[in-house]
Structure 1
Amino acid sequence: MKTDVVIIGAGPSGLMLGHLLAQAGIDAVILERRSGEYVLSRIRAGVLEQGTINIMKQLGLDERLQAEGIPHDFVSLTDQDKLIKIPVRELTGKHVVVYGQTEITKDLMDAAPSRRVQTVYEAADVALHNIEGDAPFVTYEKDGEEHRIDARFIAGCDGFHGPSRKAIPASASASVERVYPFGWLGILADVPPCAHEVVYANHDNGFALASMRSNTRSRYYLQVPTNEKIEGWSDDRIWNELKVRLGSEFSSNITTGPALEKSIAPLRSFIFEKMRYGSLFLAGDAAHIVPPTGAKGLNLAASDIAYLAPALIDFFKKNDPSAIDAYEAKALARVWKSSRFAWYLTSLMHSFPEDGDFGRKMQIAELNYIANSKAAQMSIAENYIGLPL
């Protein structure tokens, strides 16, 4: 089989790329090692920057997003019982929209057949070949048979553990990583949110976050040690700790309920500084992981595609390679800026006992500065709504 682009991974970035290429009349095949049902079952974030929304609008797939998405005009930071409410829309003229990543994926998946976005699910043992040259190909196994797809380019949108990044020789790769000394315990429940905006809480017990997936479904997080076990956290214990950490402004508005899902995830910053190698391009989590503080993961994946899709279209439609040659530098510049913001919020709002009293006093001083500085609030606001593409 032959195609123009093989896309590995059917998460939001892979599906967005597949749709954008199909819209431009460029042939592509998406390979996904999991079933479609499994892909849709993954619980992920859902705070969308305007750039992500614009891609869905460009594809004409934003009807449900516009109808069901929840605009956020504020973001709140708390320190014990001190509240800093940052008027994001007033300061920037823009806002973010809460619309779950699962919903974005569903919209893209549902529209794929009618738009000739070809996706092969349950493609096992995907392997990349000849990526350093102009004639790469991919092999995979499906229903007990081995298949081969020849292409001009491969787009690795297959996440942190996928085969795409691993196909780049160690001698040609470079990465930077920071592993944080804690994780996030998350709970998802069908209860109304305690606030109309995302709340980041700094507390002596550790960080907490209040977010939502809809007006009837809430997502909360607690900072926990890396060796913590989810079995030690009953629903009641989680709700009680959230009420303590989120402070009096929000604790009285917390509605409790049975958990739909509970998990503990580690936090890391990881940037792979080789987003192009020969005929292979990396996008999304295959190239970078950011702490969820700041909600940049999905949006960074979308911004990669906002650069990569038109670059590939220019190559095939105009015989112009300049944009694909510039992809790595352009994407990495935004990745580093977004990673800086995620690192900044993580450092500001989490408990770092190893930093002692000095570290804690510096957090308090920074929060006091933010509370009384329009310039500081503007900096947070413009990063929160998403830097320009």
Structure 2
Amino acid sequence: MRTQVVIVGAGPAGLLLSHLLGLEGIDSVLVERQTAEHVQARIRAGMLEAGTVELLRSVGLGARLDVEGMEHRGIHLQWPGERHHLDFVDLVGRSVTIYGQTEITKDLMVAREKAGHPAYYSASDVALHDVTGSPSVTFVDADGAAQRVDADVVVGCDGFHGPSRLSIPSSQVWERAYPFAWLGVLADVAPSADELIYAWHPDGFAMHSMRSPRVSRFYLQVAPDEDIAEWSDDRIWTALATRLAFSGWTLETGTITEKSVLPMRSFVTTPMRHGNLYLAGDAAHIVPPTGAKGLNLAVADVALLARALTASFRGDDTLADAYSETALQRVWRCTHFSWWMTSMLHRHGDDFDAQLQLAQLRRTVSSVSAATELADNYSGIPL
């Protein structure tokens, strides 16, 4: 096969890039090691920045989002005895929207099928070749047949464990593992709050989120090596009720349908381009989920890269040559914000550290400039 762009990884980043390139008349082929059903079912991010929402609408992917998405003006910050609302619209003129990654993936898959962009799922033995010259990707397809795709450009949207990142020699890596993890819970219960609650508590961080008017998402700070088997439904609801407790407010409970432990870390690899190979999304960077930046960062990468590749295929390599440096500016800004939110809200260290965290929380909710800084980063730097 021959195409202009072969995209390794058919999650939201890869699917969106294929869609954006297709709108510009640029051919692409997607190669994904998981089944389509697995990709579509992955429960990940659920908060979309204002710029992400605007982009999806502008490229014909906003129909279900506009009906089912839950627009939020801001978030609640809480610690024992206090809960404060930060209104992003008042502070920076931007809102955020709750719309699950699974739903974005569904929308993108439907768009891909309508456009007829080729995609190979359940691919094994995926390998990249000659990325600084005439690149190609080889793999074994779902039927066991060996395949080769020649292209002008290869884009790695295949996450941390994919082959794309490892195809860049002498890359520089920055990484930080945090001394805690999240126990994530999905429950069939209507949200108990109008917007997300980020709660600092002596027992550890807790978060009340949602996926729809009927499904809620919760997180509890736990140890990185926590045994999920030790957390019964009753223990989870008790811990959530304790850490999210607030006078006059009740946490509604329901059937827990999914629970898992998510380690927390920051990871950045540079450069994000090597010859005709480009990295986007988790293949280049991972952030702790506290600031809700993972999916939005991937969208920002892809939006930038789609413009750069479109210009390059039309004879102007300026944006393509600057892609890595330009993308990394946002990556490091969002990495810092995610680290800051994580460090402020998760119980760690001693009682001295706890007092510093509470001082920062009080400053954030009482200072317009501090609240504006959080709102500006959380709602998203414009694409």
TM range (shorter): over 0.9
How big is each residue's C-alpha offset from its partner over 1:4-53, in whole Å with a ceiling of 9 and x where there is no partner?
00001111110000001111111100101111111111111110012211
How big is each residue's C-alpha offset from its partner over 1:257-277, in whole Å with a ceiling of 9 and x where there is no partner?
121100001000001121001
Post-superposition offset of 1:90: 1.0
Aligned to 1:283: 280
| RMSD of aligned Cα (Å) | 1.0
Unaligned 5+ runs, structure 1:
none
Aligned to 2:380: 386
Aligned to 2:214: 216
Aligned residue for 1:382, secondary structure, equals helix
**1:318-329 to 2 correspondences below 5 Å:** 318-329=314-325
Task: Tell me, yes or no, if structure 1 residue 346 matches structure 2 residue 342.
Answer: yes
Task: Tell me, yes or no, if structure 1 residue 307 matches structure 2 residue 300.
Answer: no
Which residue identity does 1:68 align to in structure 2? E
**1:140-159 to 2 correspondences below 5 Å:** 140-142=139-141, 143-159=143-159
How big is each residue's C-alpha offset from its partner over 1:237-260, in whole Å with a ceiling of 9 and x where there is no partner?
10110010012158x432211211
CA distance in 2, matches of 1:12, 1:248: 37
How big is each residue's C-alpha offset from its partner over 1:113-136, in whole Å with a ceiling of 9 and x where there is no partner?
211222111111110000122x10
Aligned to 1:207: 205
Retained in 2: the 8 A contact 1:178–1:269?
yes
Aligned residue for 1:185, secondary structure, equals strand
Task: Tell me, yes or no, if structure 1 residue 297 matches structure 2 residue 291.
Answer: no
Task: Tell me, yes or no, if structure 1 residue 268 matches structure 2 residue 265.
Answer: yes
Task: Tell me, yes or no, if structure 1 residue 361 matches structure 2 residue 359.
Answer: no
Retained in 1: the 8 A contact 2:83–2:246?
no
Retained in 2: the 8 A contact 1:200–1:349?
yes
Post-superposition offset of 1:58: 2.3
Aligned residue for 2:264, secondary structure, equals strand
**1:58-137 to 2 correspondences below 5 Å:** 58-133=58-133, 135-137=134-136
Task: Tell me, yes or no, if structure 1 residue 30 matches structure 2 residue 63.
Answer: no
CA distance in 2, matches of 1:361, 1:342: 20
Query: How many residue pairs align between the two structures?
Result: 382
TM-score norm. by structure 1 comes to: 0.96
Retained in 1: the 8 A contact 2:74–2:96?
no
CA distance in 1, matches of 2:19, 2:289: 26
CA distance in 2, matches of 1:69, 1:157: 25
Picking from 330, 333, 358, the partner of 1:337 is 333
Which residue identity does 1:29 align to in structure 2? V
Aligned to 1:238: 236
Post-superposition offset of 1:357: 2.1
CA distance in 2, matches of 1:129, 1:102: 32
Which residue identity does 2:337 align to in structure 1? F
Distance 1:140 1:254, change over 3 A: same
Which stretch shifts more, 332-341 or 369-378? 369-378
How big is each residue's C-alpha offset from its partner over 1:101-121, in whole Å with a ceiling of 9 and x where there is no partner?
000000000121211222111
Which stretch shifts more, 13-22 or 365-374? 365-374
CA distance in 2, matches of 1:311, 1:118: 22
Distance 1:339 1:249, change over 3 A: farther
TM-score norm. by structure 2 comes to: 0.98
Aligned to 1:163: 163
Retained in 2: the 8 A contact 1:189–1:219?
yes
CA distance in 1, matches of 2:204, 2:113: 46
Which residue identity does 1:270 align to in structure 2? F
How big is each residue's C-alpha offset from its partner over 1:147-204, in whole Å with a ceiling of 9 and x where there is no partner?
11100100000111111101112xx200100000111001101101111111110000
Post-superposition offset of 1:382: 0.6
Retained in 2: the 8 A contact 1:207–1:222?
yes
CA distance in 1, matches of 2:81, 2:63: 39
Unaligned 5+ runs, structure 2:
none
Retained in 2: the 8 A contact 1:199–1:209?
yes
Identical-residue share of aligned pairs (%):
51
CA distance in 1, matches of 2:217, 2:207: 8
